[in-house]
Amino acid sequence: MTTNGGSEPVFCTIVPPHILNTLARHEDPAVSGPAQHTLLLDAENRTRRSLAAEYGLRAAPAVRAPSDQPLRTIYDAEHRTALPGTKVRAEGSEPGRDASVNRAYAGLGATFDLYLKAYQRHSIDGDGLPLDATVHYDEGYNNAFWDGKQMVFGDGDGEIFVDFTHSIDVIGHELTHGVTQHTANLTYYGQPGALNESMSDVFGSLIKQYSLGQTAAEADWLIGAGLLAPSVSGTALRSMKSPGSAYDDDVLGKDPQPATMDGYVRTGRDNGGVHINSGIPNHAFYIVATTLGGNAWERAGQIWYDVLTGGELKEKAFFDDFAQLTVATAKERYGDGEELQAVLKAWERVGVPITPRARL
Amino acid sequence: MRIQVRRTGGFAGIERCAEVDTSGRPDAAEWHALADQAVAAGGSAPPAGVPDGFRYEITVDGKTVYCADPRLTEEQRKLISRVLKEGA
């Protein structure tokens, strides 16, 4: 097990953060406003979120019930890095000539659909949050990320990666970071960080399966299939079915994901190996889904969704905390049946103990 | 001047490292100016960053600073891009 020694946010302003904190609480909005603004700008993502909650800066909840239709906007960064960029497609408008824009728009829609139809969740915050995405970020940029408010997609360099909008599970993955941020808010470091990553892979894969109408047996259980350029030896970036097998390439190296706790990687890099150790809870989900059969988003997905959004999962949860909650949820929702047995078997197979662990 | 860049994280979680030694290079002065500005704007500890965002360690003559996407200065972005492209 790693220790959860999260990194400290870095403030880049001249005014020390404790002074800004005091100013931000000031009665006079002329004083508190700019200080809050500076704090919001300068704090890193998590800090920005907690401050926003503390100072009540979040948008007031809509009075009316949220819509069953998404509210999508796609922006084009035009190969620069200013966000969000130029607005190029709004909700309801026809597809344009830019395939990246159209793929992002469709992927946002597919993500909205799964959350609404399978889990009755209205958008990523459960309250109809507009879905924004920027394509063509930077030049040859080999990444996609969630910046706390929107999704950002690079075009890939064409040598290792192609355009990140090509993979619908990547779009679902990024938006699920938003769902996690608005629910359990798992700390993005160490085991809670790997759980955060795993939630995004699980629901990213489910979004792909739901949109293709695939059962657990039919699904490829790959993350980022179709993202690797033709010259790279590999099928995808991660495999939930067989973690560690997604790629093995001269330039990229070998997929480092473990499937079980025996292979747990202790590292400070990549926020404590969040993209490495996510293979363990990923594989547990795969076992539950394929043991139960049928549509993975139904019973397996429902149990995972309940735990993620149920309010009991702590920000600094470890794998066994999460496992324990999936067991309790399976029992609560489905009784002492095959769902519970599948969940117990899955955690046993990946080596995560499901008995409560005493913690100092 | 030895300029090293290590990039970790990202959606793929694939690490990349590269180094440029500016000694004897005709454009050494340009590299030094860029490196100085990039380091001056860096943090002494890794920032929390954003989910799937790249994290960077920039080491210039033994001194390491940290930064993360999407909050890079122009100089940091330029230096990182050049080192990863041209470095060994």
Q: Give whole-number Cα distances, A151 to A173, A215, A288, in Å.
A: 10, 28, 29
Parts of chain A belonging to CATH 3.10.170.10? 72-166
Helix A190-212 × helix A168-182 angle, to 10°:
130
Please identify which of the residues A136, A275, A283, A339 carries the catalytic annotation. A275
User: Residue-wise pLDDT tens for chain B (88 aa)?
Assistant: 999 999 999 999 999 999 999 999 999 999 999 999 999 999 999 998 899 999 999 999 999 999 999 999 999 999 999 999 999 8
DSSP label at residue A261: G
A174 catalytic per annotation? yes
What's A65-87 look like in SS3? CCCCCCCEEEEECCCCCCCCCEE
What are the pLDDT digits (tens) for A283-300?
999 999 999 999 999 999
Binary contact (B50, A148; C-beta < 8 A): yes
Q: Give whole-number Cα distances, B67 to A7, A82, B53, B58, in Å.
A: 12, 17, 11, 8
Residues A252, B14 contacting (CB under 8 angstroms): yes
Parts of chain A belonging to CATH 1.10.390.10? 190-350
What are the pLDDT digits (tens) for A124-172?
999 999 999 999 999 999 999 999 999 999 999 999 999 999 999 999 9
Binary contact (B12, A173; C-beta < 8 A): no
Q: Which residues in chain A have Cβ-Cβ distances shorter than 8 Å to B54?
A: 143, 145
Sign of CA dihedral A56, A82, A12, A267: positive
DSSP label at residue B3: E
What's the fold here for domain A72-166? Elastase; domain 1 (3.10.170)
Q: Which residues in chain B have Cβ-Cβ distances shorter than 8 Å to A6?
A: 48
Q: Find the closest chain A residue to B68 by CA distance.
A: A44
Q: 18-77 in B: which are within 8 Å (CB) of A?
A: 41, 43-55, 66, 68-72, 77
Q: Which CATH number fits domain A190-350: 1.10.3720.10, 1.10.390.10, 3.40.1350.10, 1.10.357.10?
A: 1.10.390.10
Burial (0-12, 13-18, 19+ Cβ within 10 Å), A71: middle
A80: number of CA atoms within 13 Å, CB side? 11
- The kind and range of the H/E element at A242 are none
Q: 87-106 in A: which are within 8 Å (CB) of B?
A: none
Q: What single-letter amino acid sits at A243?
A: P
Q: Find the closest chain B residue to A252 by CA distance.
A: B14
